[in-house]
Amino acid sequence: MQRVGILGGTFDPPHIGHLVLAEYAVSALDLDCVLFVPAADPPHKWRVREAIEHRLPMLERAIAANERFAISRVDVDRPGPHYTVDMIRILQKQQPDTEFYFLMGRDSLHNLPDCHHAEELIALCKLAVMARPGAEVAPDLTANILPGLADRVVMIDSPMLGFSSTEVADRLEAGKSVRYLVPDSVLTYIQDHGLYQNGS
């Protein structure tokens, strides 16, 4: 049985934090692959600044050097809105002999109760949570809000990189450097296509 990590998001733009999370997950969980799943039409309050026609090739460039990283178009080739639980269902049908781990940051874990069909989500796959060494799931989250969650979570000791795609995009729009925050190939694509300028 294959072990596959799933990293979803808008990747607007993809940055080194995404790659660090995926790489640490490969090592900690002995994953065969990490699937990066870009959301073409996210249902949440996220503001998507660049269209999937740009976010997808940026992501392709970001992961190109790692043979264990791949892209799934499951949320690109179907109409939205795209909920995580629906995406997991589709991937399981495509790869029935696979054990899936949904990768997330610790802040996303605490927002999990607000997710669409959260209880079904944790029944479908395990959650691999990026956290500081020694971090644990908050007891109230497991006992009172999502019973059984603790049994479905694997904490991954990893460095915490304190920036997001939103902050990277803000810096780009302000004309500030994002060198070392995004892969060079992604930065070149952004510059060549004039992305994240003038509040785009």
Using the predicted structure, report yes or no on whether residue 200 has a pLDDT greater than 50.
no
Determine how β-strand 153-157 pairs with β-strand 126-131: parallel
Q: Which of these, 35, 39, 26, lies nearest to 69 by C-alpha position?
A: 35
- Residue with the bigger pLDDT between 27 and 133: it is 27
CA distance 32 to 2: 6
Q: What's the mean per-residue pLDDT of the chain?
A: 86
> Could you tell me the pTM of the whole model?
0.88
Using the predicted structure, report yes or no on whether residue 32 has a pLDDT greater than 90.
yes
The residue to which tokens 């795209």 are assigned: 82
CA distance 100 to 96: 10
CA distance 26 to 87: 21
Q: Which domains does the chain have, with CATH numbers?
A: 2-163 (3.40.50.620)
Residue pLDDT, tens place only, 126-176: 999 887 655 566 655 555 567 777 788 888 887 767 778 989 999 999 999
Render 9-73 in DSSP notation, one character per residue: E--SS--HHHHHHHHHHHHHHT-SEEEEEE-SS--SSPPP-S-HHHHHHHHHHHHTT-TTEEE--
Q: What is the mean pLDDT of residues 55-75?
A: 97
